[in-house]
């Protein structure tokens, strides 16, 4: 028998959104829009098949992440399942007990109304299933901001999942917790086309004539790294202010505070295996102390 206090999770996937966003992440901005006609008209073209395979979604990684919050009460995926690009996933989704909700676009290339149907179903489910504790929204559309806010007002813990670069910052901020798809366990990390080009140009510019290229890949956008550093400093300063001193702070508490200030923060999305590795990379600003199982951090004296 399920105990009343056991976390119970509802998952809603805007499948078109996540598939298109990941395709653009792998192949470059607006790539899906440019390839859409070719994908529709020539689904068996070897080039089309190869590009789709390179941008395949790891369905299991999303479901497993959602299951880490508690028992999955219901999981729904919204898309036009008659399209070949989505139909490829049907067996995977059914195998994970995902309910496939069929949506049809009103006109060629029009939105299929997933955001409206998803939001209506989610609100209805919260009243129909009052024991739901968590709502996981998979999709990066800013249209889901009101839904996330409503879920929070109704006492649910809201988790967002979206592709970096294609997720509205307002949606990430509206969630209690936000995770980028590429940082999920089981998802192979890819470097966006734009980042590859940028890295290649930098390496080429720094490369001496007639010498082989020796430049290293960048793990993420420098702006994201700078924003994470500023977020860490704010969290540490607030932690010290709250304690009234410059005493050591528990790293877990610091990370929790950072996630509350910016739910989209993820050390994995920035290229670090753990939060401890992220802190060590900022050793000019932070001091770390490990004592037994305790990991402590504080701002370094300047």
Report the C-alpha gap between 235 and 241 in whole angstroms. 10
Which CB contacts under 8 angstroms, 24+ apart, belong to 236-240?
236/286, 236/297, 236/298, 236/299, 237/299, 240/298, 240/299
CA neighbor of 11 nearest in space, from 99, 80, 85: 99
Report the C-alpha gap between 232 and 268 in whole angstroms. 15
Q: Could you say which DSSP state residue 73 is in?
A: E
> What is the pLDDT tens value at each position of the chain, 302 positions in all?
345 578 999 999 999 999 999 999 999 989 999 999 999 889 889 999 999 999 999 999 999 999 999 999 999 999 999 888 999 999 999 999 999 999 987 655 545 578 899 999 999 999 999 999 999 999 988 999 999 999 999 999 999 999 988 889 899 999 999 999 988 888 887 766 555 544 444 444 445 444 333 343 344 677 888 989 999 998 898 888 877 777 889 999 999 888 888 888 888 888 888 999 999 999 899 999 887 778 899 988 75
Which residue carries 């995770």 as its tokens?
179
Phi, psi at residue 70, to the nearest 5°? Answer: 155, -165
Strands 134-138 and 8-14: parallel
* Radius of gyration, alpha carbons of the chain: 22
Structure tokens at 118: 């998803």
Look at domain 8-183 and name its CATH class.
alpha beta
SS3 218: coil
- The model's pTM is 0.75
State the distance between the two ends of the chain, measured CA to CA, in whole angstroms. 56
Q: Which residues of 77-101 are buried (b: 16+ CB within 10 A; e: fewer)?
A: bbbbbebebbebbeeebeebebebb
Decide if domain 222-299 falls under CATH 1.10.3720.10: no
Question: In the chain, what are the domain boundaries?
Answer: 8-183, 222-299
């Amino acid at each position: 028998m399920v105990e009343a206090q056991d976390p119970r999770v509802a998952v809603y996937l805007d499948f078109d959104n996540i598939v298109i966003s990941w395709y653009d992440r792998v192949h470059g901005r607006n790539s899906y829009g440019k390839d859409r006609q070719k994908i529709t008209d020539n689904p068996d073209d070897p080039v089309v098949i190869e590009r789709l395979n390179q941008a395949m979604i790891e369905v299991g990684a999303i479901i497993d992440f959602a299951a880490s919050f508690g028992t999955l009460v219901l999981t729904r995926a919204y898309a036009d399942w008659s399209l070949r690009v989505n139909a490829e996933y049907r067996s995977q989704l059914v195998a994970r007990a995902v309910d496939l909700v069929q949506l049809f676009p009103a006109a060629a290339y029009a939105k299929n109304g997933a955001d409206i149907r998803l939001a209506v179903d989610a609100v209805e489910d919260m009243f129909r299933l009052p024991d739901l504790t968590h709502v996981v929204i998979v999709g990066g559309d800013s249209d889901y901001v009101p839904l996330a806010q409503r879920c929070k007002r109704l006492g649910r813990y809201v988790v967002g999942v979206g592709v970096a670069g294609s997720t509205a910052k307002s949606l990430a901020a509206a969630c209690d917790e936000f995770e980028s798809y590429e940082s999920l366990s089981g998802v192979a990390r890819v470097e966006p086309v734009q980042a590859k080009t940028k890295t290649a140009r930098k390496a080429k510019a720094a490369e001496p004539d007639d010498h082989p290229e020796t430049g290293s890949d960048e793990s993420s956008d420098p702006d994201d790294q700078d924003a994470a550093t500023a977020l860490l400093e704010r969290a540490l300063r607030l932690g010290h202010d709250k304690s009234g001193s410059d005493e050591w702070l528990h790293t877990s508490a610091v990370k929790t505070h950072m996630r509350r200030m910016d739910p989209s923060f993820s050390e994995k999305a920035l290229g670090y295996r753990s939060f401890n590795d992220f802190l060590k990379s900022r050793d000019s600003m932070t001091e770390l102390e490990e004592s037994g199982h305790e990991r402590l951090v504080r701002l370094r004296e300047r």
